[in-house]
Structure 1
């Protein structure tokens, strides 16, 4: 969990319009899921922060009050890429493979309103628990299953498949 310069990047004025999740309602200790366990780890030094630990591995970190705060370095890097591929605030079509706490989906929802998102999580129970615990927005819908299956259903993939099929027939 790398933090740039010892602090999390904060983007003033870009926070979600949704009220923060109440940390008091989150479970203590491991909770069984379809593929193992999930645990929500909180720190006294960071009352709004929650680290989602899946099967003993820290998988994502959420700031319950600020969805633009990304503590994991890989998520910060993904945010840089997303922020460079389109104009600030422009909506995008995003497919999240491995949703865990939906941290990045929350980031996209807060920084790019109107984006169409689909979060795919292999563990159906985890997806259901996370949606309830963190009061996630309706977008992205959380689907369970294998990422490859859902990736094949995206509009760009279907169109590429049609073009490829047309070349093969001709």
Structure 2
């Protein structure tokens, strides 16, 4: 199973971002991007990659323990940025320090992708291949789209749960399903 651990924003927060991002779809170059499905929007805490089924009990014990040691916290989706010419993302505001501490604890407990040692909370909106992301001789559409999201500030919500998620790949976009979830301490 291809697994990751995430905090999932509520539907109201996702809808605010859908509304804020709608004008981006009309900008030059938007049709060449692979837009992510709002139903799958999440804040990844740790990407675990391929995991054998017999590892699940250990992961579930560790994630339950970590969740019980970290308090719920207030977050909001805010602003935007890019990872070079590869991805457009929405940022996170609010108690981001608590989210970072949670991500560090999750990674320490269950491992995860060491490719990105510094946790940068974000929600991916669109991806671009090098050929799709840049017009000949230009920088591509992503910087203008990130600038258009600069002033976006969604309402705060309580991040009160972590979830172990399964990523299904194949034809079309990735599909995410919840394997298990644990409430954060109150």
TM-score range, shorter chain: under 0.3
Higher share in strand = 2
TM-score w.r.t. the length of structure 2 is 0.26
